[in-house]
């Protein structure tokens, strides 16, 4: 390794420390996370520093603006426990008794008498106003409901995508994951899942994409998998749909946009899985 390359990796290790501390801007963090997933040295450094960062929080427990110990109010626990133990079933909020319920009776007031035609006119006016408001409100309600449903659907999709992404990264960082290094990245097998993590990957020429391939066990023909392009930092992280137990090799090649049914260029990487 040249001095320049060594220095380059020292920079990565410094970035890993900043990432472990949680002080990296969000967009850079993504790049470092992908690198950690693909680089054994940086993964070791991260595993070394992460517990020290975890311990940092313990020092805050003793922090006091004045001199007294930090204490949360007792109401806090009560509030939280109300969420956990809302109302016990069977616990009546109204006292129950076999005795007949006695209601206090207010002295009866003398009723106000309205002429019948005035009552009828008022009822008609109220009915008319109510019908018009109903029609308007109903329209607004339908529109709001549609917007809400759309928003909810988008939020769910985003939350699901984020959860998938986090789960994938946890998989790659898991102690039992098997890593198959290649130039600028690696293929990772974690449980029954397969991932490709690449960094410093050149952007494909215009009209082209990278395509992943998987070789099903017992087959001699590569099956087409996902197409992808690296981000602006040259990082690509791909979760393959094929299951690891059924796959004997993974490859990546450069293909025309839209992907190919069979590799049309020499694969950049071919990784046999044992």
Partner 1 sequence: MTEDAVVLMERVRKRDADAFEALYDAYHRLAYGLAMRMLGDASTAEDVTQAVFVKVWSSPELFRTGNFGAWIARVTRNRALDVIRSRTVRAETDLPQALPESESVEDTAFARIDRELVRSALASLPDEQRRPIEMGFFEGVTHQEIARRTSTPLGTVKTRIRSGLRKLRAQLEMTVTT
Interface contacts to partner 1, rule CB under 8 A = 11, 13-29, 33, 47-63, 65, 70-73, 76-77, 79-81, 83-85, 163, 166-167, 169-170, 173, 175
Min dist CB 168 to partner 1, Å, is 10
**Residue 150 C-alpha from the chain's centroid:** 19
Query: Rounded to 5 degrees, what are φ and ψ at 232?
Result: -60, -20
- Show the tokens assigned to 174: 């898991």
Give the nearer residue to partner 1 in terms of CB position, either 79 or 152: 79
Residues 29-63, buried b or exposed e (16+ Cβ, 10 A)? ebbbbbbbbbbeebbebbeebeeeeeeeeeeeeee
Min dist CB 46 to partner 1, Å, is 10
Min dist CB 117 to partner 1, Å, is 59
Give the nearer residue to partner 1 in terms of CB position, either 20 or 271: 20
Min dist CB 78 to partner 1, Å, is 11
Give the nearer residue to partner 1 in terms of CB position, either 17 or 270: 17
Contact of 258 with 210, CB cutoff 8 Å: no
| 209 CB burial (10 A radius; 0-12, 13-18, 19+) | middle
Give the nearer residue to partner 1 in terms of CB position, either 13 or 273: 13
Min dist CB 17 to partner 1, Å, is 3
Give the nearer residue to partner 1 in terms of CB position, either 66 or 107: 66
Give the nearer residue to partner 1 in terms of CB position, either 91 or 113: 91
209-212: Cβ within 8 A, 24+ apart: 209/254, 209/255, 209/256, 209/257, 209/258, 209/259, 210/236, 210/252, 210/253, 210/254, 210/255, 210/268, 211/252, 211/253, 211/254, 211/255, 211/259, 211/260, 211/263, 212/238, 212/240, 212/250, 212/251, 212/252
Min dist CB 22 to partner 1, Å, is 5
Give the nearer residue to partner 1 in terms of CB position, either 81 or 148: 81
Contact of 159 with 22, CB cutoff 8 Å: no
Contact of 53 with 20, CB cutoff 8 Å: yes
Min dist CB 185 to partner 1, Å, is 20
Min dist CB 220 to partner 1, Å, is 39
Give the nearer residue to partner 1 in terms of CB position, either 19 or 210: 19
Closest CA to 228 of 216, 243, 213, 215: 213
């Amino acid at each position: 390794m040249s001095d320049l390359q060594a220095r380059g990796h020292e920079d990565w290790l410094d970035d890993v420390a900043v990432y472990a501390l949680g002080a990296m801007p969000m967009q850079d963090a993504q790049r470092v996370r992908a690198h950690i997933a693909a680089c054994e040295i940086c993964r070791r450094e991260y595993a070394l520093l992460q517990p020290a960062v975890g311990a940092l929080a313990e020092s805050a427990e003793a922090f006091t603006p004045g001199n007294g110990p930090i204490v949360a109010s007792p109401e806090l626990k009560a509030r939280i426990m109300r969420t956990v133990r809302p109302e016990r079933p069977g616990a009546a909020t109204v006292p129950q008794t076999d005795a007949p319920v006695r209601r206090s009776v207010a002295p009866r007031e003398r009723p106000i008498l309205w002429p019948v035609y005035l009552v009828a006119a008022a009822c008609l006016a109220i009915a008319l106003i109510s019908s018009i408001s109903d029609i308007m409100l109903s329209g607004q309600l339908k529109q709001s409901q549609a917007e809400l449903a759309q928003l909810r659907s988008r939020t769910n999709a985003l939350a699901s995508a984020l959860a998938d992404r986090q789960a994938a990264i946890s998989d790659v960082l898991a102690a039992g994951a098997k890593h198959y290094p290649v130039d600028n990245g690696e293929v990772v097998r974690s449980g029954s899942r397969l991932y490709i993590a690449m960094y410093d990957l050149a952007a494909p020429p215009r009209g082209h994409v990278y395509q992943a391939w998987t070789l099903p066990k017992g087959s001699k023909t590569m099956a087409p998998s996902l197409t992808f392009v690296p981000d602006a930092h040259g990082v690509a992280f791909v979760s393959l749909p094929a299951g690891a137990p059924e796959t004997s090799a993974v490859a990546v090649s450069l293909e025309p946009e839209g992907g190919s049914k069979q590799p049309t260029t020499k694969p950049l990487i071919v990784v046999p899985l044992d």
